[in-house]
Amino acid sequence: MARTREFDTEAAVAAAMEVFRSRGYEATSIQDLVEATGIGRGSLYAAFGSKDGLYERALRHYSAGSLRTMAGRLDRDAPIREILRDLLLALVDDTVGDPDRRGCLMTNTAVERLPGDAVAGRIVGESFDRVAGLVEEALRHGRARGELPPDADVTALSDFVTTTIQGLRVQGKAGADRRRLAAVVDTALRALPLRG
């Protein structure tokens, strides 16, 4: 008879996610994960198969939470310039407000694990595509309200904003201060063909 799992899988994934975010994949040992989750080595392997299996679950967990937060920040009844500025500055504040400057797990994974890790690459690529899709939807609404030219290429513009987000996260992790990152936000907004 199979034994009943005696721990909260999602809580274990969330704890592991924080370790991976702080240390990166390579520097995180199974013992680090055992200590963070409070789950024995055998139980971790039984539940997730391997460190890679737990890492995959942690990436998906982080991505889902980040996308929910981003969707909430973009789904507002406000001018698109204000929506984008608030979104970008919130990301800046999240980064500089973290005393350990852990950065974004998706961005960290892209830098550390790609192109060699195909599974992580797929998860990160899907996450970045979802971010671009959320931004594109907000830009489409702005264009429909006349805040962008009718012929504005909202796909290219959303890719530009998504790339700006990743750049802000990397620069923030590298120690750039809020003033410097906020100036990048303002420059990026000036580069968009926003009216008003």
pLDDT (tens digit, 9 = 90+) per residue, 56-78? 999 999 999 999 999 999 999 99
Identify the CA nearest to 74 among candidates 138, 119, 118, 29: 138
Beta-carbon contacts of residue 24 (< 8 Å; ≥ 6 apart): 108, 112
The pLDDT confidence band at residue 8, using thresholds 50, 70 and 90, is confident
CATH says 63-191 is which class?
mainly alpha
CA distance 147 to 160: 17
What digits encode the pLDDT tens for the residues 125-179? Answer: 999 999 999 999 999 999 999 999 999 999 999 999 999 999 999 999 999 999 9
| pTM listed for this prediction | 0.92
How confident is the model at residue 1, as a pLDDT?
A: 42
Give 108-167 as a DSSP string.
HHHHHHTTT-HHHHHHHHHHHHHHHHHHHHHHHHHHHTTSS-TT--HHHHHHHHHHHHHH
Domain locations in the chain?
A: 63-191
How confident is the model at residue 6, as a pLDDT?
A: 63
How confident is the model at residue 131, as a pLDDT?
A: 98
26 within 8 A of 112, measured Cβ to Cβ: yes
Torsional class of 114: left (φ above 0), alpha (ψ -120 to 50), beta (otherwise): beta
What digits encode the pLDDT tens for the residues 14-38? Answer: 999 999 999 999 999 999 999 999 9
